[in-house]
Structure 1
């Protein structure tokens, strides 16, 4: 896609790029809300469905595992068919999954609903990043940062929604407006996208994609880095409210509000850090993010009062919230243009698949030896991630 100037063709608020970006922002925010609200609702869901924390962790792992599995076909089909086709398919599956969550009356239906949401998310995300990559070149870091901030705001709204629905005692109601907004997103993309919906039989070319990724040392190193970080991200965000409520013995309302702080801080920091990465280099700035995150998580583990916990959460958010836009922009620069969709989807399938084990790890370790052991393990993962990023920067 030819771009005339950053000002005339890469606008986040005007013209075709502005309309598309606004729609992406809306569906990212509410899709994130629907997925992240599960964390503050988890104690209530556990009690309502009479399941163990290990079973709850498996449920979250199913969500992220199916999200991961759908990423490669989502990216490959975005290349072979059209971005619009996969945007509509992904949002459609999300609408079905969130509607089923609103109607779920048992653990089995909960898990199936989460699997469908995961598939929809996995099909949608590669197409979203490919469209943003094509729309924004000079402002790519900023665009990714603002889009990531929308996801963080979804986390804030998830905490607010959790407090409200818990007061009503009806956790399933949360997913009704999410399904409705995503349905509006389908209509917006159907009308505004300048691509056509294309259906055809397509080869996924799994072997060719695997050879490109495994044969490239830099991409392989990035893949390991993303996998470790995703493991931490999914485990921490999945169980932080329960950790604060059960281990730290804070009220469920405080735990939900503290969870919101994580996303408020991240929403403020990510656009700024994304723009900084555009100027100084995405990987160079990204080196600091897991290191800062490890400090924040350590403070949360050691803190004995609310002020200390909130301070730790703010530091944690500044680190782990900034990782994604910076390293996604770096990854897009490293992928070959002709196979970008499939290769991007494949990398996300691998690192999100491995990362999806994070919630299951927490659930099992907590039942065996407690939250401190589980979260200290995450601190170690963040430090290893920092070392890997240093190696990536040095090899550039």
Structure 2
């Protein structure tokens, strides 16, 4: 199920150029479409958090599959940029609802292996990310970009039926039964939620702007054709497959805050270097490094949050964190596209954002050293950072 859910919000990046050609607009101007998909993913997260205080998590997950079937059909028949933007937003809704309901469920199904379980789940999602550009390239050989959404609709329907069968055969945990108030969870866990938002907000903003417009960026700034650009985008996403598996396991074994700081520092540095290099080989190497770094951040952040939150706050507090950070990063591609259409170069824009990410993570590292950040997700420690008493 997660394969098609993730595909629904990532498929717009490789479709920007063919859709722009049909609607006779620039690819950069369609940054608003990719932003709409991510804004759609951000917008239902708080409402979904509320729904989780009333309904079991797997009910919501099943509903997201049904929603994806309908919204994909709507998008397939887009007749204008506005229609396509609305379709992207609606398809994004399904991913936002899915992750808010399923990630806490996974952490409760595997409480002793949160990072590892989230890493495996993320790997399945990442396979969709890797396949999206290749999928689009294959579809464009036999059809047009609209065919992509028709296929997503049909396959999402089949996977939703599979999820229904799986939930009926699995004993669902009751860990979230006491989670009944978004406000209560927010008040109790605000420091952890704010820390998570700051960590991933500016980083996700840069990443969203980079990958959604990567094909156009490579064409305009590096002289790399659209087909090769899609392959490099797939390479970037492919690097995320081992990143999810390795970092998910690592997050179960090492303190999460230093791990997250190291990942964000590496990512911002790699993006800055990308703007300086020339040549296909150098760009390919940087694509792999960037892809590995950013996809390492996601299981590390989710482990940090979900392993730290108590049962009575987990779903609601995670929804608050996820909704806020997604709203910030969803604006990335729209902001980058707007900057480029107003005369700023891609390279200068990405340099500015990578420096900003570096400044933020440096500040967070100083706060961590001073003891101001929650140390949740710290293996061997309790969520408040104290070492538990020995049983000896």
Q: Normalized against structure 2, the TM-score is what?
A: 0.86
Q: Deviations over 1:222-280 (max 9, x none)?
A: 22222112212211121111111222121111000000111111112220121112111
Q: Which moved more, 1:344-353 or 1:42-51?
A: 42-51
Q: Is the 8 A contact 1:36 1:158 kept in 2?
A: yes
Equivalent pair of 1:79/1:339 in contact (CA under 8 Å): no
Q: Alignment partner for residue 277 of structure 2, among 293, 303, 325?
A: 303
Question: Are 2:69 and 2:157, in contact at CA under 8 Å, matched by a contact in 1?
Answer: yes
2:80 is the alignment partner of 1:102: no
Q: Which residue of 1 aligns with 2:295?
A: 321
Give the aligned partner of residue 211 of structure 1: 187
Aligned partners of 2:36 and 2:51: how far apart in 1? 23
Q: In structure 2, what is the equivalent of residue 175 of structure 1?
A: 149
Greater Cα offset, 38-47 or 252-261: 38-47
Residues 1:344 and 1:97: Cα distance change in structure 2 (over 3 Å): same
Contact 1:90–1:121 (8 Å) recurs in 2: yes
Which of 216, 226, 231 lines up with 1:257 in the alignment? Answer: 231
Give SS of 1:302's match. Answer: coil
Query: Residue 86 of structure 1 is aligned with which of 60, 69, 77?
Result: 60
Question: Which digits, 9 at most, give the CA deviation of each residue in 1:113-167, with x for residues without a partner?
Answer: 1121122211111111011011112221111112222222211111111222333
Q: Structure 2 residue aligned with 1:42, among 4, 8, 16? A: 16
Query: What is the TM-score of this pair, normalised by structure 1?
Result: 0.85
- Distance in 2 (CA, whole Å) between partners of 1:192 and 1:148 is 19
| Structure 2: gaps (5+ residues) | 173-178, 376-392
Q: CA–CA distance in 2 between the matches of 1:204 and 1:364?
A: 41
Distance 1:156 1:313 in 2: 13
**Is the 2:9–2:38 contact (alpha carbons within 8 Å) kept by the matching residues of 1?**
no
Q: Distance in 1 between matches of 2:289 and 2:250?
A: 18
Report if aligned partners of 1:266, 1:322 keep a CA contact under 8 Å in 2: yes
Aligned counterpart, 1:378 = 353
For the 8 Å contact 1:39–1:237, the answer to whether it is kept is: yes
How far the C-alpha of 1:192 sits from its partner, in A, is 2.3
Quick one: structure 1 residues 180 and 283, their matched pair in 2 at CA, closer, same or farther if it must change by over 3 Å?
A: farther
Q: CA RMSD in A?
A: 2.2
Q: Distance in 2 between matches of 1:126 and 1:392?
A: 28
The one-character-per-residue Cα deviations of 1:349-369 (angstroms, maximum 9, x if unpaired) are 111111111011111111121
Of residues 220, 229, 232, the one that matches 1:246 is: 220
Once the two structures are overlaid, the 10-residue window that deviates more, 137-146 or 304-313, is 137-146
Residues 92-121 of structure 1 show CA distances to partners (whole Å, capped at 9, x for unaligned) of 111111122222222222122112112221
Which one of 301, 307, 325 corresponds to residue 333 of structure 1? Answer: 307
Which deviates more, 107-116 or 361-370?
107-116
More helix by proportion, 1 or 2?
1
* Higher deviation after alignment, 46-55 or 322-331: 46-55
Q: Which runs of 5+ in 1 are unaligned?
A: 1-26, 197-202
Cα 1:135/1:371, change in 2 over 3 Å: same
The alignment partner of 1:303 has SS state of: coil
What does residue 28 of structure 1 align with? 2
Which of 229, 247, 266 matches 1:273?
247
2:182–2:317 CA contact under 8 A, matched in 1 = no
Between Structure 1 and Structure 2, how many residues are aligned? Answer: 362
Q: Which residue of 1 aligns with 2:385?
A: none
| Structure 2 CA distance for partners of 1:72 and 1:80, relative to 1, 3 Å | same
